[in-house]
Amino acid sequence: MLKGCATINPEPRHDVEMAEETREVRGRIPKELKIAFEIACARLEFTQTAALEEAIRDWLKKKESAANEK
């Protein structure tokens, strides 16, 4: 497990209402990537929030797996 990080549920939950406590995440990405993300979300009928949550969960899972292999 990554040091200093809590274990997370790796399964994204696209149908969960925003009943749980949430926090805003901010960052800057290249303009072209942002546009491609917005288009993909619209085409796939995904909210950007759900897509970001899935991406972050996948990233954490990947990093946790890599740390466990060491």
Q: CA-to-CA distance for 11 and 34, rounded, in angstroms?
A: 24
Average pLDDT (5-25) is 66
pLDDT tens profile 18-67: 578 999 999 999 999 999 999 999 999 999 999 999 999 999 999 999 89
Residue 1 has pLDDT above 50, yes or no: no
Which pair of tokens denotes residue 37?
């993300």
Half-sphere exposure of 65 (CA within 13 A, CB side): 7
